[in-house]
Structure 1
Amino acid sequence: MANAGSSRQAAWEFYGTELKNRREAAKMTQQELGRKVFVSGGYIGQFEQAIRKPQLDVAARIDEVLQTDGFFERMCRQLINKSPYAEYFAAAAELESLATAICDFAPAIVPGLLQTAPYARAVILASNPFAADDQIEEKVVARMERARLLKDPATPEYWVILHEHVLRPPTGGPAVMAEQLDHVAALAHRRRALVQVLPAAAGAHPLMGRMLTLMEFEDAPPTAYTEAVYSGNLLDDPALVKRVRAAYDLLRASALAPEASLTLIESAAEDHRRCASTS
């Protein structure tokens, strides 16, 4: 997996170098190309440095402006298809690995960065009931590779708000769920993740049923990612990201304090453990 990740990054760097070469051959500045493809000149620079990966519609517009006969769109498609992640999540996963800070809101399941392998396997199998075992395991391995981000002692800073509904269903069975919640609690105890729980009693909130990830970067503007059923939306418009950030701040205000959240998570883990011991 690490070799595959390095290979993909090298391919994106080649993509960026080619973009710079074709742009300069067309005697266009980054700002001029950005205006023509409806992104900022700074984004073009980030594409060229392989800091950000262009979405398919942007790649297609670049081909049209630079008259490159579909080169950038084809290469973009090929790199997305080689990703171990779903097409709609691939770009967000690439950004996740570059982020200095990540904030998640999970309304229904434990976020991928916090998942244990048995819990991930149960979630993936539920969405892919007819997949072969090796296909399921490939997805589990990819998810565990993502979770390695939190093994670094410093970056990214990770803040997550779990809705109380995440804690109750025995996903994968009560023993698997107990182990999963123990893992979340352990990361909180090690101060590797700041975890809050939004209690069910809080009622309505700004992100009803919507999963959200906010990402910050050292040398790039912040980004938001939202996900629905088999679809995702990567948001990088500054005004829109600001609105999403405000919604996340409202969730923080309604969530339990970290200490009370940890107590609730550990209590839920014990409930699942008791169920496992009596079943």
Structure 2
Amino acid sequence: MPQRLVVTERSHEPRKRFAEELRRLRVERGLTLRDLMKAVGWDASLFGKMERGGTLGGPEVVQALDQYYGTEPLLLTLWELAVGDPTQFKEQYRRYMMLEAEAVSMWHYAVSAPPGLLQTDGYVREALGVGWLKSHELDQQVEARGGRRKLLEGEDAPSFRAVLSEAVLRTPLRDVRAWREQLEHLAEMAQRPNITIQVLPLSIGPHGLMNTAVMFLRLLDSRTVAYAENDLRGELIEENASVEELQRRYDSVRDQALSPAESRKFILRMLEEVPCEPST
């Protein structure tokens, strides 16, 4: 009978296992994070976050680590499993929510829906109601979004800039009253001193963020992180090069958007097209 294999005590959760392997390989070779930075070329802080599970990093840095350690394709395989892990979205989103609460400034690009921080209860209820949420889960989500809006209130509220694709304003809710309230809310928020709203006309054509909704957070330590998402998944991005690339795309989009004053007028014109009362 073949000898029974001993099961290791390492995690079976992909994200944690990936982080454990990164730390094990470095420690076994007697390397510090700074040693790794000098050898591989990325910031020591990035390697530290990857080993703590704070970020997965990108495929380029993981492949470089595989080559340096001589473990190809172990780390890249573990990274792919961690990226595809169904718990990944929830873990990253929880971390994003913590960072959002600490941000000193935020800026967002919206593809087809208003930013969560600017959504009314009526918008949240209809938008999320088209999914598979049960009634009590929907109520919880509406309440949670309402709580997030408070981040933009008060004397110490962070500055917030939102660039809205024109598609956001041309995708109405079925509930006419709720849609009117959402547009009125956007127009009102655009007048607050800490909030800037710009509209990106569809006429500018294709651009670098046309399929990506993204939020940038400037943190107390002056770092900037990004959270990019679509309807199915989101990704917290902390690696400097990736954040900077998204930032360049955002800056280009912002520069092509209407001015804040023109944008508010655009929202008010859209509001004029909405009936005051639902048709019977």
Q: With structure 1 as the length reference, what TM-score do the two structures score?
A: 0.70
Tell me if 1:212 matches 2:247: no
How does 1:33-44 map onto structure 2 within 5 Å? 40-42=43-45
Contact kept, 8 Å, 2:108 with 2:215, in 1: the verdict is yes
Counterparts of 1:82-97 in structure 2, within 5 Å, are: 86-97=90-101
Cα gap change, 1:253 to 1:111, in 2 (>3 Å): same
Deviation, 1:243, is 1.3
Partner of 2:153: 151
Task: Give the AA of the match of 1:113.
Answer: L
Residue 123 of structure 2 is matched in structure 1 by 119
The verdict on how the C-alpha distance between 1:266 and 1:87 changes in structure 2, with shifts beyond 3 A counting, is: farther
**Structure 1's 144 and 111: CA in aligned 2 closer, same or farther, altered over 3 A?**
same
CA-to-partner distance for each residue in 1:38-70, whole Å, 9 max, x for gaps?
A: 9844468889xxxx9814799xx9xxxxxxxxx
* Residue correspondence of structure 1 range 170-209 to structure 2 within 5 A: 170-209=172-211
Q: Contact 1:161–1:197 at 8 Å: present in 2 too?
A: yes
Structure showing greater Rg = 2
For residues 53 and 100 of structure 1, the distance between their equivalents in structure 2, rounded to whole angstroms, comes to 24
Matched position secondary structure for 2:108:
strand
Write the letter of the residue equivalent to 1:96: E
Q: 228, 232, 239: which one pairs with 1:226?
A: 228
Measured on the aligned residues, the alpha-carbon RMSD in Å equals 3.5
Other structure's SS at 2:137 match: helix
Would the aligned equivalents of 2:125 and 2:142 in 1 still touch at CA under 8 Å?
A: yes
TM alignment of 1:41-120, pairs within 5 A: 41-42=44-45, 54-55=54-55, 86-120=90-124
Contact 1:88/1:230 (8 A) holds in 2: no
CA distance in 1, matches of 2:155, 2:231: 33
Query: Does the residue aligned with 1:102 lie in a helix, a strand or coil?
Result: strand
- For the structure 1 residues 231 and 147, does the alpha-carbon distance in structure 2 shift closer, same or farther, using more than 3 Å as the test? same
Contact 1:202 1:254 in 2 (8 A): yes
Could you tell me how far 1:110 is from its partner in structure 2? 0.8
In structure 1, distance between residues paired with 2:206 and 2:162: 19
How far apart are the structure 1 equivalents of 2:91 and 2:130?
19
TM-score for the superposition, normalised by structure 2: 0.70
Q: Percent identity?
A: 28
Q: What's the secondary structure of 1:140's corresponding residue?
A: helix
Per-residue Cα deviation, 1:91-128 (whole angstroms, up to 9, x for no partner): 22221111111110001001101011111111111122
Decide whether aligned partners of structure 1 residues 31 and 168 sit closer, same or farther in structure 2, where only a CA change above 3 A counts.
same
Map Cα deviations across residues 62-90 of structure 1 (whole Å, 9 max, x no partner): xxxxxxxxxxxxxxxxxxx8xxx944522
Partner of 2:252: 250
1:23 maps to what in 2? none
Q: Which amino acid aligns with 1:94?
A: M
Shift, 1:170, TM fit: 2.0
Correspondence for 1:165: 167
Partner SS, residue 150 of structure 2: helix
Paired residues of 2:225 and 2:243 also in contact (CA < 8 A): yes
- After superposition, residues 256-271 of structure 1 pair within 5 angstroms as 256-271=258-273
What is the alpha-carbon distance in structure 2 between the residues aligned to residue 29 and residue 97 of structure 1?
A: 32
Structure 2: gaps spanning 5 or more residues: 1-27, 63-86
Task: Assess if the C-alpha contact under 8 Å between 2:112 and 2:171 holds in 1.
Answer: no
Maintained 8 Å contact 1:53/1:91: no
